[in-house]
Amino acid sequence: MKRITKRKINNQSGAAMLISVVFFLFLSLGIISGLVAPSVREFRNANVNLNSKKAYFLAESGSEDAMYRILNNMAIGASETLVLDSNETTTNVMDVDGSTKQITSLGDVSNSERKTNINLSTSDGVSFNYGMQIGNGGLTMSNSATINGNVYVNGDITGYNSAKITGTAIAADRTAEVVDQINDTGTPTDAIQFGNTTNTADVAQSFIVATSDIATQVSVYIKKVGAPNNATIRITSDSNGKPATTSLATGTLSASSVTTSYGWANIVLSPNVTLSTNVTYWLVIDASVNASNYYILGANNAEYANGLGKLGQYGTTTWSNTSPSGLDAFFKIYLGGVNSTISGMTIGEFGIGNASAHIVNDSDVSGNLYCKIGSGNNKSCDTSQDDPAPLNFPISDAQIQSWKDSAEAGGTQTGNINLSSGTLVIGPKKIVGNLYVSNSGILTVSGTLWVTGNVILSNQAQVKLSSSYGTGSGIIVSDGTVSTSNSATFSGSGSINSYIMMLSTSTSSSAISIANSAGTVILVAPYGTISFSNTAGAKEAIAKSINMSNLATLTYESGLMNVNFMTGPSGSWAVDGWREE
């Protein structure tokens, strides 16, 4: 009999395989996820990091743009927005006080933000080391006029009727006002850049004088890039068509007297060496090397017949032609001078206060008397010292022009300003006309002023700096004459060592006339005369010549040794600090 066997079909056949496949699928996904997630995270982090770096450099761009504008006296608002690569940086400029600015720049790239902060402070300003510094016109004092401080004059000091200087009085031999050699054809067609590399560290210009006489002063037409150090001016003899490695005379080119625009800088030489005709000499400007801070000398091509320009290093024989070759620097050579005299003065007190001049007559000196010739004095001449050398004027033509430019950048107002009583806040501003303040009127200066006409203060008028100047000082420049009378005064911001400078470019014998105590003011008349009368006084006076009479008094303050003006080159801004917030 045939047996029939039934088999049970297993419907779960292959389930294990399916489970294995699913398991490995999830395992693979887990592995892939484990590999991809960090990569995605790293990519995201890299993108965030990239955006952060972009934001940082964006912030830096904003702060550097603001700093460039401030350093170059360009217009800039309190808040500026700069767009780069479709991203923005917002820069805020805040005046912390009159001598400090803070630049804050925020860069934002896809919500990644970086912020930088730069602090700027005014760099060293003009230094006034003497109660008075006077040019070739000399100083005349009469009728108990007094200077409480030291005096340096590139000319004579003459006193009558109890004139007195309580400190030291120096009358240097006068420099010549006649130029023997000059290369100046107006606007420079070329330029000689130096002080930026080792091979172009120094510049030299050869010359031959027309008259045999002593060299007293040179002038160069120059500008600067950045903030170079002072340079040394040298006169050398010729050595095989190059400057010799030793100097006959030297002087100092003050970096603060040079601006970022061309201007003449005058440098007094010492000692006074005699130059001979038909002999080649070299004028050398010996500068330090810095790729970012250097000088540029105005020049033309082969316009000066008695010499040529070269570039190299003083003290070596390594000199090469300019590029292009044949350039001549813009320069002036002054020859000649006259021995100066102190006469009729009382100098010093309590055994302190020296007198120094080639000739001293009829004077009473408390300290040492240095002279070569003397008569009628309370002591004999001490001839052990050389005659004092003349000093450079502490303010250059280029600085004055930069102050005018700063004023004009604030706008121009045409017509006279007549403030009779009441108050007025003004500046920076160019005023085409005269400025009158009278009858207790109060003029507050909020920025540099340039007055093309006269400045006349009378009847208890006040001209003062805004409190925003802080410890800084401010400037008014007048192309006309300046006069004060009847208790009219100038004053600073109210802070210690804050002064106002009143500068007249007039060549008049009455460029500045002060008939009473003028307050905390620095009076400057580089081309004319300052006159003090009737108990008049000031803190500092600098002029071509000065007359003091009738109990006029000037009292020097130690803070004048380093005055920071809030505009132009003497008030140039320097980086005081940087950080990322």
3-state SS, residue 68? helix
Least confident of 60-74, 204-218, 271-285, 484-498: 60-74
Residue found by looking up tokens 């510094």 in the block: 133
Q: What is the pLDDT of residue 495?
A: 87
Confidence of residue 233 (pLDDT cuts 50, 70, 90): very high
Q: How far is CA 420 from CA 78, 214, 417, 450, 462, in A?
A: 33, 54, 10, 20, 11
Whether 557 shows a pLDDT value over 90: the answer reads no
Amino acid letter, 515: A
Residue 137 backbone dihedrals phi, psi, to 5 degrees? -70, -20
Q: Find the mean pLDDT for residues 318-325.
A: 95
Q: What is the pLDDT of residue 336?
A: 85
Residue 423 backbone dihedrals phi, psi, to 5 degrees? -135, 155
Q: What is the pLDDT of residue 559?
A: 45
Best CA proximity match to 314, nearest among 280, 278, 277, 289: 289
Whether 560 shows a pLDDT value over 80: the answer reads no
Best CA proximity match to 555, nearest among 532, 534, 537: 537
Q: What is the pLDDT of residue 126?
A: 61
Q: Find the mean pLDDT for residues 303-317.
A: 95
Tell me the domains of the chain and their CATH numbers: 24-122 (no CATH), 125-134+396-568 (no CATH), 155-173+339-390 (no CATH), 179-337 (2.60.120)
Confidence of residue 562 (pLDDT cuts 50, 70, 90): very low
Confidence of residue 504 (pLDDT cuts 50, 70, 90): very high
Distance, in Å, from the CA atom of 169 to the CA atom of 136, rounded to the nearest integer, reads 15
Best CA proximity match to 443, nearest among 453, 434, 432, 435: 435
Confidence of residue 364 (pLDDT cuts 50, 70, 90): very high
Q: DSSP secondary structure string, 34-57?
A: HHHHHHHHHHHHHHHHHHHHHHHH
Q: Find the mean pLDDT for residues 157-168.
A: 93
Q: Find the mean pLDDT for residues 91-120.
A: 79
Whether 192 shows a pLDDT value over 60: the answer reads yes
Distance, in Å, from the CA atom of 548 to the CA atom of 554, rounded to the nearest integer, reads 9
Confidence of residue 99 (pLDDT cuts 50, 70, 90): low
CB 530 within 8 A of CB 543: yes
31: CB partners within 8 A, 6+ apart: none
Distance, in Å, from the CA atom of 94 to the CA atom of 63, rounded to the nearest integer, reads 12
Please tell me which of 103-112, 178-187, 383-392 the model is most confident about, judged by mean pLDDT: 178-187
Residue of higher predicted confidence among 322 and 4: 322
Q: What is the pLDDT of residue 124?
A: 43
Radius of gyration of the chain (CA): 35
Q: What is the pLDDT of residue 569?
A: 38
Distance, in Å, from the CA atom of 480 to the CA atom of 498, rounded to the nearest integer, reads 25
Q: How far is CA 81 from CA 85, 299, 575, in A?
A: 13, 40, 22
3-state helix, strand, coil in the chain (%, to 5): 15, 45, 40
pTM of the entire predicted model: 0.69
Structure tokens at 279: 């002999």
